[in-house]
Structure 1
Amino acid sequence: MAGKLMQAVCYDSYGGGSAGLKHVEIPVPAPGKGEILIKIEAASINPIDWKVQKGVARPVFPRKFPYVPVTDVAGEVAEVGLGVEKFKVGDKVITYLGLAGGGLAEYAVAKETPTVLRPPEVSAADGSCLVVAGCTALHALTVTGGLKLDKTEPLTNILVTAGSGGVGHYAVQLAKLGNTHVTATCGARNIKFVKSLGADEVLDYKTPEGAALKSPSGQKYDLVIHCTTGIPWSTFKANLTTTGKVIDLTPNGGTFWNFAVNKLTFSKKELVPLIAVPKAEEIECLVNLLKEGKIKNVIDSRYPLSRAEEGWAKSIEGHATGKHVEIPIPAPGNDEILLKVEAASINPIDWKIQGGMVRPILPRKFPFIPG
């Protein structure tokens, strides 16, 4: 695809939020050794994406500008580099682009290592959501937390903070695959939703009981998956069992300080900072769980690439239910044209298709845009 241009969204300096994003036309990148070029079908925004824009990782991982953000994508392999063995042109895949980013574009280059095949039962939008958020929840529970997801262990009492968010809504569902009692926190409007994910108890974080993390049934927590900010260690400590562990997925200076103090004082109660990097085997595990119906994705909002700044702003605003997804404008293939729609007319066949009328003959792939 040498010389071909693509649409992308980038920023050329730190800061600026959604107003700092720019729509540009840039060359399609070429895959190097061990890399694949992906035609992006969906990209999912994570808080780390706009935190990088704010300069959070600047001392360790400075950005080169202009920078195309977003790491979690799903799409179709358009080209393969030298040495690529697992994938071929036309394969549907899900991947983690890493700190190189590139997800807010029509095409992106990915390494073969963290890339997995996407089965037809999992949509591109769902696949893109799984990567950072799902893998972080899975790693925190099973690797750092030591939880088995097969109900073979003694009952574990777990607390998930921000249980309706991107990481939190996966953590609640994954935790319930094990032999657990799960308490979760969220805002009042999401209590019913978090209960539908399987939580045994749900606390409104704005109430005195919720702010204190007090289990309605008086449970002390063996494990806490902390997916938000602003809760002091003292509050967690008061609610832990004698060997309870808090895994902080949004660590700051205070987290590392308390982690060090606990180690130096040989405290049995632990505070563990965690920044997880998605691995192919974790993505595959989540894809299989989604395919089998053991977990579900919840997408808060979807935006075309042309409105990426709206999704960016909504992610910064917070209080999402699930994830935000960007879907690039489709590119025409052979014998096709791309139309800018000025008007569309609804026919009875449109809602009859939604009702499943032609399902045996022409099954739909979801998400499906009617009309």
Structure 2
Amino acid sequence: MSKIIYMDYAATTFIKDEVLEEMMPYLKGFFGNPSSQYSIGLRSKMAIESSRDNISSAINCKSDEVFFTSGATEADNWAIKGFAYANKNKGDHIITTKIEHEAILSTCRYLEEEGFKVTYLPVDGEGFVNLDQLIDSITKDTILVSIIYGNNEIGTIQNIKEIGKICNEKNITFHSDAVQALGKVPIDVKDSNIDMLSMSSHKIYGPKGVGALYVKKGLKLHNILHGGGQERGKRGGTENVASIVGFGKAVEISMNTMKDEVERLSFLSNRMIEKLLEIEGAFLNGPEGEHRLANNINLGFRGVYGEDLVFNLDREGICVSSGSACQATSMEPSHVLLALGLSRELSKSSIRLTIGENTTEENVDYVCEQINNIVNRIRTVRK
């Protein structure tokens, strides 16, 4: 194996040099606890607030509406559980979709065990929510709608602005998991009437183990972590200063480069989709064009198991996945692909390729060639 070609950027990304450089002083010299009153502690506190400013600017909210977490899974749990418990006197009904990340679905299933009612909206063959179905699902007891911004498996970008408008008109709180969308889609929580937004660092070339939740000022939300008075009394625990600094720097870089990078990734992903669809029996999962995340390619190959493709590509030094990294060890077909209407067999024949900063046109052409060879080889063996 001469080199690694990484095409699983939706699972995680490497830390950029500029991000790591920004983090290093807070791992060594400025290691002080940000709750301390002496200079190295105050320096840490200032660094956290600078990162908070970067993130609030990226999504158009106030700085004190951003709360740091250990990642998007915590942010999702906090948004849904925290809001549900704090507002159960107003209603007990939550609306989400069948194609959410497992962090949302597991949280909603947990709340069902706690007595809450949850509606899981279906999607069409490209992964879009029907807005009329959303409206029809709203009842007098509906307190929260949670719909993913850009899907992690098939790249579908929902009509977030219209969903936010519906929720705003119905006086229902709207949460969105924007983990895959941040840095790839312009996000404006005010314009889109988003009340809570989950974000993650390690999807945008920042460190793992840190994320954030935007919470609109005035929203009632119970804490799920209790401890000291950190994060303005909302999330106990000494802050992960260096990682928060890295997250803030990664957001700053992604905002500065997003327009050009999205254009480049769109060209490469479109090229890849076009080439792979030339393979007999290939089919695209999710939408084409502007309503798909620029770096996402999800295709199936009839008569070939996605797991076999992943294994054989890995032997060639090519890293792809058969779905979400959080469910990579499961032998069950993707719940997202099943929700599109695919059979279990076709769902198991799909792979996800997500490209990023180090992906080149040469990489794309080489990977397409290797996939074509492997698909044909597997089909020949199975005949």
TM bracket, shorter-chain basis: 0.3 to 0.5
Q: Which has the higher strand share?
A: 1
Identify the structure with bigger relative contact order (alpha carbons < 8 Å, sequence gap 6+). 2
| TM-score, L = length of structure 2 | 0.32
Q: Which of the two has greater helix per residue?
A: 2
